[in-house]
Amino acid sequence: MTDEARWELEVRSIKSARFAIAAAVVLLVSHTTVAILLRVSPTGVYFRTADQLALAGIGVLLAGIALLLTRPRVRVGREGVAVRNILSERLIEWDLVRGLSFPDGAMWARVDIPDDEFIPVMAIQSNDRGHAVDAVRAFRSLEAKYTGADR
The average pLDDT across 19-29 equals 98
HEC profile of the chain? CCCHHHEEEEEECCHHHHHHHHHHHHHHHHHHHHHHHHHHCCCCCCCCHHHHHHHHHHHHHHHHHHHHHHCCEEEEECCEEEEECCCCEEEECHHHCCEEECCCCCCEEEEEECCCEEEEEEEEEHHHCHHHHHHHHHHHHHHHHHHCCCC
Second-level CATH architecture of 4-12+72-147 = Roll (2.30)
Q: What is the pLDDT of residue 4?
A: 65
What does the pLDDT look like over 25-83, one tens digit per residue? 999 999 999 998 887 667 677 788 999 999 999 999 999 999 999 999 999 999 999 99
Which range among 47-56, 82-91, 119-128 shows the weakest confidence by mean pLDDT?
47-56
